[in-house]
Structure 1
Amino acid sequence: MGLQTFDVKTQQFLHWLRNDANVQISEKIDLVDLRSENQGRCVIATQNISSGEVLFEIPRDSLLNVSTSSLAQISPQIREKLVTAVGHWEGLVLSILYEYKVLRERSRWWPYFEVFPDINDMNNLMYWSNDEIQFLKPSPVLTRIGRDSAKVMYQQILNLIEEFQLQELNAVTWEEFVYVASVIMAYSFDMECNDFKDLESLSDDEDNGVSSVSRDGFLKSMVPLADMLNSDTHLCNAKLMYSTSSLTMTAVSDIPAGHQVFNIYGDHPNAEILRRYGYVEWTGSKFDFGEIPLEIISSAANQCFGIPIEFVEKVIEIIRDSEKIEQLTECEPIILDYYDCYVDGQVLPESITLIQVLVTAAQIPHIDTFDYENLEGCLQRITKKAIQIVGNGKMTKRCLRLCEYIVNERLKDYPSHAFREMSPDHFEIHNDFLRQRMAECVLKSEVRSIQNCFQSLERNYRIIEDQKFLGNVMKRGLESKPKSQRQVKRAKR
């Protein structure tokens, strides 16, 4: 898109906002072209802005959702179906497709569609090739791309087109569906709709469990201009506020003239930012984390201390299934498929508790001969004590050693470049390696998070002797001995 066309569409969009969408825009901001920095259109402060100032205000009827769309106006039956029996995603995808493909220039939102991102600029993971996806190994984000679920939704859209008899949309392609769904993923907001009086009369008695507007009480909506703000987890200085009649973007900190206005899309790590929105924060997200799979904990216990893998799996199974242990944890599960390690050093206490239980159980004499009932009772006591010491910021030496081994085993999964410090100029914006560089940034963010968490353990936990903790666990000795030994003692009496 040429500079003139880009600027013309920007000005037409601003004219539409002020004159047709009735958006009140502060004179202290402007919409500018930052494509040179790979950021597209952005909102910039043209004057100093104080915290609390309203940057713009958007009437609710200028938002695009299943309630305001032209599709909902075709018939009361379609409108009610969209609100009560169609999922949030399917409803908004279909509404946008109808505006964008059928009405086109006749759509009220056409100037808004004209500033939607070009398909060639889309970098969320749905647009990555299979070869490019490999750059992200071993990030768990690979399991969350969602192509299979997208195919299911595409078929649902086709079914709705047939049901609503929208012949004009019969030729909707997979590529068109993915584009609209990606735009919604990147730019939509979930807006509560309790104040929409025209929705109150619609019945939600028969919704077949569908996550719909009437069932959940919110509208997935496109919010013109609000979605032009870039997001930065460290630099967020504005927030979208809701009222019964409008939405206002308000400064939440002072914004000097010439600085960009940033919103925040959520507490997302770089991997999720890339998956949803197609970009990364090159210096790392404030909410980055890495993940330790449960299977690495199991194998590490075997490799580090020689604990039989069958025993580890049995302990995990009992902890997962035991109602007695569940009561100790107040129904918060200790056994998870993955354990998060946050970039700020926060570690899930469940992971430390599990590791402490494993290393302690392995030191109980003859525990491998315990029947299920006795093993469950023993693990119940160990878990109770482990929860106590972990909650008090303590762990045993063996627990710390196993934590270190687990971290090192997980880090072995990552390529060497994920451990290198990279200068900002390493990430060339406009080149053929952009997606590879973004993948490297994601992996670096995860490695940094895992490393920070282990360093946090060393700093923040007091290390105690294993024998001291083991002695505390075994004070009531009979509870930690197999039935056969208890029966022998009784016989001697």
Structure 2
Amino acid sequence: MASNTQHEPTPVEQSFLNWFESTGGYLSPDVSLHDFTLQGMGRGMKSNKRLERDALLFSIPRYMLLGTRTSTLPSRAIAADEKAASLEAQTNPHLFTWQSLSGGWTQLLLVMLWEHFRSTAEGGAALNDSLAPRGSMDDEQDNAGGSVGPSWGPYFDILPRNFDTPMFWDRQELQDLEGTTVREKIGLAEAQLAYRTQLLPYIHAHPDLFVGSKASANARQVESLISTYYSEELFHRMGSAVLSRSFHVNLPGQGGLEEVGEAEDGMEVEDDEDEDEEDGEGEGEENINDVCMVPMADMLNARFESDNARTFYHQDVLEMRTTQVVEAGEQLLNTYGDPPNCDLIRRYGYVDEPNGADVAELPATTLVDALLSLEGLTSTTAVHETRRADLLSRLGWTISIGFDEVHALAYLFPLSQEAPFEPTPLSPTERELRSAAASISDELLAQARVLIMSPETLEKLKKKDKLPSSRIEAREFVDGQSRGVAEIIARAIELRLEVYPTTLQDNRATLYASLSTHKRLAPLSARRRNALVVRSGEQSVLMDNLRVLKAADEASRKLEKGQGVTSEKRKDASESAGHKKSKR
């Protein structure tokens, strides 16, 4: 939606714009910062005129990026560690070092805190820093007495001071996320542990490094500075800024004009890497040195499948360019990769409606619970425990050969573009249901079939290095009972839906009550509304999959009945089911 209103920069915004250009950045006169609060998006960037595809919006030298490669704290910390080690190695063998902070984002967050302190009048004087730029990001680290790069003060000033991510919600607000996968991924406990057991002890071990000349003051004054500029509250704020606004920027020299990627999550305290890994990084882990803040690039908002600008990098600069024609007054939107709302709310504190990328997680163990439920076995019997142990063993085998422990279910039908944003069509035909069933994960189907087949059939598959076929209509006949793959997964989804404290219908009634009653109701708080959108999105995905699976189960029962398969034929068919194990 285009905005023709003019927005006068606030003093903080003007200070940031002045800093950006005076430090070496370029901002096109064809774009400007704008307040999109009425659109529910806060500060963003808009076009002042029609922009053609590949128009340059702004560029930023690499030395203006804020991270472990552009700050001199890492080199200063390493120098301080070496000095301390020579003095204390014999008396303190467990001395905290910069390298000991390598798990997760601890080093990056400490850089953020140190640079924030350095950007203040008190911190700048205490650290006695020079403001000379360092040059490109691939320069060697400066020694402790070298130049220290730009001061990012105006950039820190424009960063949000308050976040709507669940990290900052109270207990009552978090209850609205009950049943979703968000609560277990917030990472507050892990962040607190990193701060209290790693970051804070390291700061106390090197007061001269973190408070500069103030380290010679009395202990009470030193502690006051640390509690002000290196507080846990500020640590969480910086962590949320990194989580929601950082970019993954590779070192230069890789050739060509390449797109900048987003930083992956890294708030958690990571386990030590395996000793046999040559490069010191676990498989799939990002290099924390590649994660940095990119001033101006993080001013752009994002919306599901609506991006019209992307960030690219050259040898010495990063550029933001349009990827399509942008009309005058239109908001410029970057991409977050179209994540589901459960990720959007956790990382950025907002949700998209509708969001066709929503997912619902289905733990593989729920398949076990589903089969036990269908067999009528309760947890109070010994038979239940024996049967459960057998099913978990089968499940463990599938996981050992590469199957997922948790399945991410996605929408099988497109969403309507009007509230309540339901998968359409509401009443699909049999043909449409069969077509949608083809999108259900083969691994999920095969995993369910492993659970329902006879022990003899399973052993034959293992010996012949075979996997069961992943047909959704597959059925197994064991001990006089026929069970279907779709039947098991459908029951698992029903059990997953029972975890939520309210139904999908209840949530939609709360979210969109005014649409049906035409009455002005008390508005929901932003956090409660976002939580209900996340919850209803997961439930909607589950219900969408459930209707397809129930249709498939009904079709498989009709097929079985129509074929008139005898018990012996069912058994023979079950034992011969399977196909060669594919390379994974």
TM interval, shorter chain, is 0.7 to 0.9
Stretch of structure 1 that moved more, 462-471 or 147-156:
462-471
Q: Could you tell me how far apart the structure 2 residues matched to 1:310 and 1:143 are? A: 27
Q: In 1, Cα distance between the equivalents of 2:384 and 2:338?
A: 36
2:199 corresponds to 1:157 = yes
The DSSP-based 3-state class of the residue aligned with 1:47 is coil
Query: 512, 524, 541: which is aligned to 1:449?
Result: 541
Q: Which residue identity is paired with 1:146?
A: G
Residues 425 and 455 of structure 1: CA distance in aligned 2, closer, same or farther (over 3 Å):
same
Distance in 2 of aligned mates of 1:35 and 1:439: 20
Shift of 1:293: 2.9
The amino acid of 1:135's aligned partner reads D
Q: Which residue of 2 aligns with 1:170?
A: 226
Report the alpha carbon displacement of residue 189 of structure 1 after superposing the two structures with TM: 1.1
Aligned equivalent of 2:239, options 181, 185, 204: 181
Partners of 1:262 and 1:245 lie apart in 2 by 24
Asked if structure 1 preserves the Cα contact closer than 8 Å seen for 2:446 and 2:468, the reply is: yes
Letter in 2 for 1:289: V
Which of residues 47, 50, 55 is equivalent to 2:49?
47
Contact 1:290–1:447 (CA under 8 A) maintained in structure 2: yes
In structure 1, what is the equivalent of residue 153 of structure 2?
Answer: 110
Per the TM alignment, residue 7 of structure 1 is displaced from its structure 2 partner at its CA by 1.2
8 A Cα contact 2:176 2:528, kept in partner: yes
Distance 2:446 2:333 in 1: 39
Deviation at residue 319 of structure 1 after TM alignment: 2.9
Q: Offset of 1:220 from its aligned partner? A: 1.6
Equivalent position of 1:434 in the other structure: 526
Distance 1:326 1:182, change over 3 A: closer
Correspondence for 2:418: none
Residue in structure 2 matched with residue 7 of structure 1 by the alignment: 10
2:471 is the counterpart of 1:389 = yes
Q: Distance in 1 between matches of 2:464 and 2:471?
A: 11
Letter in structure 2 aligned against 1:408? E
Q: Which runs of 5+ in 2 are unaligned?
A: 1-5, 83-96, 125-149, 212-224, 255-276, 378-382, 414-438, 476-482, 578-584
- 1:326/1:332 contact within 8 Å kept: yes
Q: Measured at CA, do residues 73 and 19 of structure 1 come closer, stay the same or move farther in structure 2, by a change above 3 Å? A: farther
Partner in structure 2 of residue 233 of structure 1 = 304
* Distance in 2 (alpha carbons) for counterparts of 1:419 and 1:38: 20
Gaps of 5+ in 1: 197-205, 368-373, 477-493
**Contact kept in structure 1, 2:43 and 2:299, CA below 8 Å:** yes
Whether the 8 Å contact between 1:299 and 1:309 is mirrored in structure 2 is no
The answer for the alignment partner of 1:471 in structure 2 is: 572
CA RMSD of aligned residues (A): 3.8
Find the counterpart in structure 2 of residue 144 from structure 1: 185
1:40 partner letter: G
Alpha-carbon distance between aligned partners in 1 of 2:309 and 2:445, rounded to the nearest angstrom: 37
1:135 has 2:176 as partner: yes
Distance change >3 Å, CA 209–CA 419, structure 1 → 2: same
Answer yes or no: is the 8 Å Cα contact 2:161–2:237 preserved in 1: no
What secondary structure is seen at the aligned counterpart in 1 of 2:109? helix
In 1, the alpha carbon distance for the partners of 2:286 and 2:330 equals 41
1:117-155 CA-to-partner distances (Å, cap 9, x unmatched) read 132xx1111100111111101002111111121012212
1:56-135 matches, within 5 Å, as 56-72=58-74, 74=76, 77=79, 86-87=102-103, 89-105=105-121, 106=124, 108-119=151-162, 122-135=163-176
> Aligned partners of 1:116, 1:92: CA distance in 2, in Å?
16
TM-score, normalised via structure 2 length: 0.66
SS at 1:152's partner residue? helix
Distance 2:51 2:298 in 1: 20
Mean CA deviation greater in 136-145 or 286-295: 286-295
Q: CA deviation at 1:317?
A: 3.4
The separation in 1 between residues aligned to 2:310 and 2:247, in whole angstroms, is 12
Structure 1 CA distance, aligned partners of 2:8 and 2:324?
34
Task: Summarize the Cα distance change of 1:255–1:83 in structure 2 as closer, same or farther, 3 Å threshold.
Answer: farther
Distance 1:15 1:475, change over 3 A: closer
Distance in 1, matches of 2:241 and 2:399, equals 42
Please, what TM-score do these two structures have when normalized by structure 1? 0.77
Instruction: Report how many residues are paired.
Output: 437
Match of residue 129 from structure 2: none
Q: Which residue of 1 aligns with 2:449?
A: 356
Which residue is 1:191 aligned to? 249
Deviation for aligned residue 1:312: 4.9
Aligned AA for 1:387?
S
Matches within 5 A, 1:236-247: 236-247=307-318
* 1:371 equivalent in structure 2: none
Provide closer, same or farther for how the CA distance between residues 221 and 111 of structure 1 changes in structure 2, counting only shifts above 3 A. Answer: same
Q: What SS class does the counterpart of residue 380 from structure 1 fall into?
A: helix
Instruction: State the SS of the aligned residue for 2:306.
Output: coil
CA distance in 2 between counterparts of 1:320 and 1:406 reads 14
One-letter amino acid of the structure 2 residue matched with residue 161 of structure 1? I
Aligned 8 A contact 2:302 2:334 in 1: yes
| In 2: Cα distance, 1:404 partner to 1:85 partner | 45
Counterpart secondary structure, 2:393: helix
